Amino acid sequence: MLAPSVRGVVCEAMSGLRDLTGEPDAPPPRMNTSLTDYIAGLYAAFGAMMALQERARTGSGQVVDAALHEGAFTFMEPHVPAFDKLGAVAARAGHRLPGNTPNSLYETRDGRHVVIAAAADAVWRRLAHAMGRPGLGPDPRFATARDRAANADACEELVAGWAATLDLDALLAALEAGGVPAAPIYNVADIFSDPHYRARDMLAEAPDPEWGSVTVTGVAPKLSATPGRIRWAGRETGVDTVSVLQGELGLDDEEIGSLAADGVVAGAGLPQAKR
């Protein structure tokens, strides 16, 4: 049997999602995270919630089937009817969003990278003002979204040239003052330094038996009445099996022992079934 991470990357390849990732003149790279596994986990959790709702209504349970490649495939949604009706096979577009200009990644003078999303006509005009070139707003090559898409290379070159004249902080300040959506590309160190993540409790401290305390990702989404909490960073496999089966499911030692003997559950200190 393939290990979970191996199954995930294989299913990522089969989903079609990987073929859309990366630069158009290079092979499709893998995501540096277990993307397909996370997507399938989210769908499985969502399916479990729907199944619980149905059980509350009818009293009947059901199987929740969340396949790795199917979850990733749902992210291909706009490309499926495009192929069905137009025969269009989506291609890798790198850091641009096809038909949506300017909406790309730009390098600053100090070597950082910023995403600028100014594809809407009003936002494009605000960006032109921020660039100190308001005449670009009504320029016939760029006046509408359709015009900019038709002249994407020229438009992107102008924005990239301007971004390269400013350091990151100065560029972000100019974009914020102009009302243009933009953000730097964060690494994990940037996230730890951003007070917004702390304010939203997305960098949570959790107790750990080996490390004492470990920073982990916080709870999402956040519910107003039941926001959720993180009790620990991790647990040894099976350490809570008995308490869950007894306390939450009401099973006795004989029932738990039978499940353990059949290989259904595992954990420390499981009672033995009488044979």
Residue located via tokens 């004492």: 212
Q: How many CB atoms lie within 10 A of CB 28?
A: 14
User: What Å distances lie between residue 40 and 32, 45, 48, 88, 139, CA to CA?
Assistant: 17, 9, 12, 27, 46
| Helices and strands (DSSP H and E) totals, the chain | 12, 5
154 Cβ neighbours under 8 A, 6+ residues apart: 141
d(CA 166, CA 175): 11
**Known catalytic residue at 37:** yes
d(CA 6, CA 163): 40
User: What Å distances lie between residue 76 and 14, 24, 131, 250, CA to CA?
Assistant: 12, 17, 35, 43
d(CA 72, CA 12): 7
The residue ranges of DSSP E strands in the chain, in sequence order, are 103-107, 113-117, 182-184, 203-208, 212-217
d(CA 235, CA 206): 11
The two three-digit tokens of residue 138, written as one number: 């009504």
- Which residue is catalytic, options 37, 65, 147, 169? 37
Q: Which residues pair with 182 in a beta bridge?
A: 116
Strand 113-117: give its sheet, edge to edge.
103-107, 113-117, 182-184
The two three-digit tokens of residue 240, written as one number: 């809570």
Catalytic positions: 37
